[in-house]
């Protein structure tokens, strides 16, 4: 697959468990604008080699040129525009935005630091995905709506089953993911007029309940498919599209 034919993916949370796995598994299929916070991203490992069947000891990694990392704190709304700017400056375009950055802090709602915690949770888990999407539409995707459907441009919000079910002690986190789920539906509704799809992938805890690989695979399937306004629940029993 040539670099020119690879889709450009703006992926937030790229240094987390999911992001690291995504870079490892799919770094060769996408040109990745990998956004991370304090932890460094892993350079997408070389997944393909050229090998001569008549001299198999000589293997050369096939260059994966499309990887660029960018540090940003998505709880700071002022940094969000820089993220979109970085992706567009680096690759010239974005086909899919994967909002995988998340705060997963779970604490009692009535503890001493509860309110600031909940505010930060909503900032990273809800407002940042919204702001990134709006920024991307304003800077790029809104200019030529006819291109959006043709290029299958879409947004994938990484949510959680905590946004669909009540788990004790996860009030703030759960509420933020529930808000993200509803936001996904409204974004799909409004951006559908521009030919932009928006969906959420909502896994159970990974890797404990579902494999991290399966979450990555689901993200890629949603990107390649035609769903919009849907929530893809990933649970040990299987997948459910809601």
Residues of this chain that bind other proteins (CB under 8 A): 25-26, 28, 47-54, 56, 59-60, 62, 213-214, 217, 221, 239
Distance CA 202, CA 185 (A): 13
Whole-number Cα distances in Å, 76 to 25, 80, 116, 236: 30, 7, 13, 35
Nearer to other proteins, 102 or 219 (CB): 219
Distance CA 41, CA 223 (A): 22
Q: How far is the CB of 56 from other proteins (least distance, A)?
A: 5
Nearer to other proteins, 48 or 119 (CB): 48
Q: How far is the CB of 142 from other proteins (least distance, A)?
A: 29
Q: How far is the CB of 5 from other proteins (least distance, A)?
A: 13
Nearer to other proteins, 56 or 116 (CB): 56
Please, which residues have CB within 8 angstroms of residue 50's CB and are 6 or more apart in sequence?
59, 60, 62
Q: How far is the CB of 167 from other proteins (least distance, A)?
A: 25
The phi and psi torsions of 8 (rounded to 5 degrees) equal -90, 125
Whole-number Cα distances in Å, 217 to 23, 76, 178: 12, 30, 23
Nearer to other proteins, 33 or 215 (CB): 215
Q: How far is the CB of 117 from other proteins (least distance, A)?
A: 36
Strand partners, 99: 12, 157
Nearer to other proteins, 62 or 242 (CB): 62
Distance CA 106, CA 89 (A): 36
């Amino acid at each position: 697959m040539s670099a020119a034919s690879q889709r450009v993916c703006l992926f937030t949370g790229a240094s987390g468990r999911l992001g690291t796995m995504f870079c490892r598994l799919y770094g060769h299929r996408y040109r990745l604008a990998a956004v991370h916070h304090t932890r460094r991203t892993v350079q997408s490992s070389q997944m393909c080699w050229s090998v001569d069947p008549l001299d198999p000891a000589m293997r050369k990694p096939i260059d994966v040129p499309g990887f660029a990392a960018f540090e940003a704190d998505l709880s700071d709304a002022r940094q969000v525009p820089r993220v979109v700017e970085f992706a567009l400056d680096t690759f010239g375009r974005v086909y899919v935005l994967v909002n995988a950055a998340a705060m997963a802090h779970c604490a009692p709602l009535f503890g001493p630091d509860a309110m600031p915690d909940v505010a930060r949770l909503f900032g990273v888990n809800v407002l940042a995905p919204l702001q990134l999407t709006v920024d991307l539409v304003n800077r790029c995707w809104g200019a030529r709506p006819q291109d959006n459907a043709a290029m299958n441009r879409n947004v994938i919000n990484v949510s959680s089953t905590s946004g669909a079910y009540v788990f004790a002690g996860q009030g703030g986190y759960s509420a933020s993911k529930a808000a993200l789920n509803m936001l996904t539906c409204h974004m799909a509704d409004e951006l559908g007029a521009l030919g932009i799809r928006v969906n959420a992938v909502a896994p159970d805890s990974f890797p404990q309940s579902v494999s991290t690989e399966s979450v990555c695979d689901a993200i890629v399937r949603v990107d390649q498919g035609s769903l919009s306004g849907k929530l893809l629940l990933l649970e040990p029993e299987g997948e459910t599209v809601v």
